[in-house]
């Protein structure tokens, strides 16, 4: 048997696992050899081990075996146990002494009580002196006080002893907790070496205990969105990844099943049969702009600003079915712990356009959103910090965005666009004495003004009543309204407004209903 020292040289982190590559070199003489690779994490999947290498040798077989090693605590706990036993003996002696003093206390009380009962009869027979009673009281009170004082001292000593014993037990428990059993895997590789040489081995296996979750920073500009992708990597494999080639993959290690179609049978409800169906479901640092003195101030030109720190990003490769693989440009170190380690993947520019939205009936302010088109890599569900030209807007969560899919992001108040809904006229009148109907008419005006320096596109929505009763009729000239679309009384307009331009939308409608009919909810 020959043991070979291996080091983790490459790790591919999937969303729920990792593929680990170990490399090592061993010098072997001609002939058959069994080479052992030890100390592999227990999180490794037994059926995932693969071996290849370089050198004048043939690989015959590999065998994976489980090994366990018990690590004893370094501290010697025998003196602690001995001290604890001594204290326990001392505690028993103190408890016995307390019990003895308590019995004395009871006996003294009984004696005083008995003396008091008999002294009355003796004194009545003129056979006793009152001085005897006083002397008895004085001595009994003194004796009781001494007993009570002794019991208090013993209880205080017992309490102090219990504290020392608890400290010893805690220390013993802490040392015992350091005793642990570590399970690892050992891989036995059988080789047939043809000539003496250094044989390089490469061992690959898949390990649980590793994962990563996506995080995003997006900075929104008028015609583009700068998206930064980050991976929050977690390594709990009990193996440190020291100076390794790191690859982040959007693939998952769990098996995927293509489910065949099955008939869907329905029948009358039977309460005794219930069928349940189950279904499966970094913060970008804002770069400070260098301050530049106004022109003409000072005798010398201001110094050139220092160059911005350059960042290195991963090479993104799109594989089959939209899976993306990110190869980091430099080797990285990620220890095995319970922390999330941020890894910057790539930064890319996406096509985007800013759109404005205002629902006049329910919104006092206009909001802006950015309509962004994704590039060729999938955007996985995760948290996203949103900026607008470097200014932080907030944080949101996004669902999965497929390659080249369009999505909206960055909803924010558009302070440079003002909108107001005005009730211009409202009239209440009878539609006709003979017809016996009532009618109410309304005229509204929507005003939108663009104070920004760019032309804006805005979707304007409002609503008019929509009747579900034949006794109530809503009349409106839809052709004159010139709306983009309308449905069930909800009206939508699309407007383009130049800088410092103001536009307005006017419309009116009538509601007519039978006399005696109560409209619910009430009209405005």
Instruction: Classify residue 273: in a domain, yes or no.
Output: no
| Pairing mode, strands 456-463 and 341-359 | parallel
Instruction: Give mean pLDDT, residues 93-120.
Output: 82
Q: Counting Cβ atoms within 10 Å, is residue 217 exposed (0-12), middle (13-18) or buried (19+)?
A: buried
Strand partners, 429: 439
Task: Provide CB contacts within 8 A for 184, sequence distance 6+.
Answer: 38, 39, 40, 41, 42, 66, 67, 68, 69
C-alpha 376/C-alpha 379 separation (Å) is 9
Chain segment 322-334, per-residue pLDDT in tens: 678 899 989 999 9
Q: Which element (helix H / strand E) includes 164?
A: helix 130-177
Whether residue 335 is found in the same domain as residue 484: no
C-alpha 478/C-alpha 491 separation (Å) is 10
Reduce the DSSP state of residue 429 to 3 states and report it. Answer: strand
Instruction: Give mean pLDDT, residues 294-318.
Output: 53
Binned at pLDDT 50, 70 and 90, residue 450 comes out as very high
Say yes or no to pLDDT of 203 above 90: yes
What's the mean per-residue pLDDT of the chain? Answer: 83
Percent share of the chain, pLDDT over 90? 38
Q: What is the DSSP string of 197-240?
A: EEEEEEEEEEESSEEEEEEEEEEE-SSEEEEEEEEEEEE-SSS-
To the nearest 10°, the Cα dihedral for 319, 320, 322, 328? -20
The 10 Å Cβ neighbour count of residue 247 is 19
Say yes or no to pLDDT of 279 above 60: no
Rounded (5°) CA angle 93-95-101: 105
Predicted local confidence at residue 302, as pLDDT: 55
Token readout for 410 is 């960055």
Whether residue 315 is found in the same domain as residue 337: yes
Whether residue 92 is found in the same domain as residue 107: yes
Is-above-0.85 flag for pTM? no
- Are the CB atoms for 228 and 395 separated by under 8 Å? no
Instruction: Classify residue 297: in a domain, yes or no.
Output: no
What is the DSSP code (8-state) at residue 375?
-
Question: What are the φ/ψ torsions at residue 415 (nearest 5 degrees)?
Answer: -70, -15
Whether residue 374 is found in the same domain as residue 243: yes
Instruction: Classify residue 486: in a domain, yes or no.
Output: yes
Binned at pLDDT 50, 70 and 90, residue 122 comes out as low
Binned at pLDDT 50, 70 and 90, residue 216 comes out as very high
Predicted local confidence at residue 277, as pLDDT: 40
Whether residue 61 is found in the same domain as residue 123: no
The 10 Å Cβ neighbour count of residue 259 is 5
Token readout for 259 is 């489910």
Binned at pLDDT 50, 70 and 90, residue 74 comes out as low
For position 203, which CATH number holds? 2.60.40
Whether residue 53 is found in the same domain as residue 154: no
Say yes or no to pLDDT of 300 above 50: no
- Of the listed ranges 60-69, 184-193, 308-317, the least confidently predicted one is 308-317
Half-sphere exposure of 241 (CA within 13 A, CB side): 28
Whether residue 68 is found in the same domain as residue 125: no
Predicted local confidence at residue 129, as pLDDT: 66
Instruction: Give mean pLDDT, residues 246-260.
Output: 81
Rounded (5°) CA angle 459-461-464: 160
Instruction: Classify residue 271: in a domain, yes or no.
Output: no
Predicted local confidence at residue 389, as pLDDT: 85
| Pairing mode, strands 324-327 and 315-318 | antiparallel
Instruction: Classify residue 164: in a domain, yes or no.
Output: no
Whether residue 23 is found in the same domain as residue 126: no
User: For residue 117, how far is the Cα from the chain centroid?
Assistant: 79
Predicted local confidence at residue 70, as pLDDT: 66
* Residue 346 or 437, more confident: 346
* Residue 294 or 104, more confident: 104
Peptide bond preceding 489 in cis form (omega within 30 of 0): no
* Residue 431 or 410, more confident: 410
Predicted local confidence at residue 144, as pLDDT: 85
Whether residue 404 is found in the same domain as residue 473: no
The stretches of 303-349 forming alpha helices (DSSP H) are none
Q: Give the residue carrying structure tokens 């061992």.
A: 203
Chain segment 380-428, per-residue pLDDT in tens: 999 999 998 888 988 999 999 988 899 999 888 889 999 999 999 998 8
Spatial CA neighbour of 377 closest among 314, 327, 328, 322: 322
Token readout for 448 is 């939108």
Strands (E), 74-196: 180-193
- Of the listed ranges 38-52, 62-76, 216-230, 346-360, the least confidently predicted one is 62-76
Instruction: Classify residue 269: in a domain, yes or no.
Output: no
Strand partners, 344: 230
Instruction: Classify residue 172: in a domain, yes or no.
Output: no
Chain segment 140-161, per-residue pLDDT in tens: 888 888 888 988 899 988 888 8
C-alpha 132/C-alpha 384 separation (Å) is 94
Token readout for 477 is 């000239």
Domains: count for the chain: 4
Token readout for 345 is 């993947």
Instruction: Give mean pLDDT, residues 234-244.
Output: 94
Chain segment 451-504, per-residue pLDDT in tens: 988 899 999 999 999 988 888 889 998 888 888 989 998 999 999 999 999 999
Say yes or no to pLDDT of 294 above 60: no
Binned at pLDDT 50, 70 and 90, residue 172 comes out as confident
Chain segment 262-278, per-residue pLDDT in tens: 777 666 655 554 444 43
Question: What are the φ/ψ torsions at residue 150 (nearest 5 degrees)?
Answer: -65, -40
Whether residue 203 is found in the same domain as residue 214: no
Q: Give the residue carrying structure tokens 């939205």.
A: 357
Instruction: Classify residue 507: in a domain, yes or no.
Output: yes
Predicted local confidence at residue 143, as pLDDT: 85
Range of the domain at 201: 2-72+180-207
Spatial CA neighbour of 230 closest among 330, 340, 370: 340
Q: Which element (helix H / strand E) includes 424?
A: strand 417-432
Token readout for 100 is 């003895």
Whether residue 128 is found in the same domain as residue 153: yes
Answer positive or negative: Cα dihedral of 100, 105, 106, 107. positive
Q: How many angstroms separate the Cα of 268 from the Cα of each of 67, 145, 274, 354?
A: 59, 88, 12, 53
Whether residue 426 is found in the same domain as residue 487: yes
* Residue 62 or 255, more confident: 62
């Amino acid at each position: 048997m020959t043991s070979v020292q291996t080091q983790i040289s490459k790790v591919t982190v999937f969303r729920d696992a990792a593929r680990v590559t170990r490399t090592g070199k061993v010098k072997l003489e001609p002939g058959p050899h069994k080479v052992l690779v030890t100390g592999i994490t227990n999180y490794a999947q037994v059926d995932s081990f693969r071996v290849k290498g370089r050198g004048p040798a043939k690989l015959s077989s590999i065998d994976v075996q489980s090994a366990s090693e018990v690590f004893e605590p370094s501290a010697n706990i025998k003196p602690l146990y001995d001290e604890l036993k001594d204290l326990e003996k001392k505690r028993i002696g103190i408890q016995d002494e307390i019990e003895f003093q308590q019995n004395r206390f009871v006996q003294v009380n009984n004696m005083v009580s008995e003396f008091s009962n008999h002294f009355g009869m003796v004194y009545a027979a003129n056979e006793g002196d009152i001085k005897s009673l006083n002397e008895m009281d004085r001595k009994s009170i003194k004796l009781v006080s001494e007993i009570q004082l002794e019991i208090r001292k013993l209880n205080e000593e017992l309490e102090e002893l219990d504290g020392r014993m608890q400290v010893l037990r805690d220390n013993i428990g802490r040392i015992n907790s350091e005793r642990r059993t570590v399970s690892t895997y050992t891989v036995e590789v059988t080789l047939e070496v043809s000539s003496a040489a250094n044989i390089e081995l490469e061992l690959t296996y898949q390990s649980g205990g590793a994962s990563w979750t996506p995080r995003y920073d997006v900075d929104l500009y008028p015609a583009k969105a700068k998206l930064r992708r980050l991976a929050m990597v977690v390594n709990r494999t009990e193996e440190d990844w020291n100076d390794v080639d790191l690859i982040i993959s959007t693939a998952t290690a769990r098996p995927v099943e293509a489910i065949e179609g099955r008939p869907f049978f329905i029948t009358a409800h039977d309460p005794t049969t219930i069928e349940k169906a189950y279904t499966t479901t970094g913060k970008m640092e804002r770069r400070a702009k260098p301050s530049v003195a106004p022109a003409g101030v000072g005798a010398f030109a201001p110094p050139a600003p220092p160059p911005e720190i350059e960042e290195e990003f991963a090479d993104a490769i799109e594989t089959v079915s939209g899976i993306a693989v990110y190869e980091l440009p430099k080797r990285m170190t990620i220890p095995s712990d319970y922390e999330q380690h941020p890894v910057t993947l790539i930064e890319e520019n996406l096509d985007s356009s800013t759109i404005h939205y205002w629902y006049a009936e329910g919104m006092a302010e206009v909001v802006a959103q950015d309509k962004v088109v994704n590039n060729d890599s999938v955007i996985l569900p995760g948290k996203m910090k949103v900026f607008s030209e470097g200014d932080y807007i907030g944080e949101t969560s996004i669902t999965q965005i497929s390659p080249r899919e369009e999505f909206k992001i960055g909803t924010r108040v558009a302070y440079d666009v003002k909108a107001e809904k005005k009730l211009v006229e409202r009239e209440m009148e009878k539609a006709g004495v003979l017809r016996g109907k009532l009618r109410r008419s309304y005229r509204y005006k929507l005003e939108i003004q663009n104070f920004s320096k760019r032309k804006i596109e805005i979707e304007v929505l409002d609503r008019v009543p929509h009747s579900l009763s034949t006794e109530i009729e809503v009349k409106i000239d839809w052709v004159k309204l010139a709306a983009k679309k309308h449905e069930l009384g909800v009206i939508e307009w699309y407007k383009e407004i130049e800088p410092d331009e103001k536009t307005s939308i006017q419309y009116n409608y009538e509601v007519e209903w039978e006399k005696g009919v109560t409209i619910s909810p009430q009209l405005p």
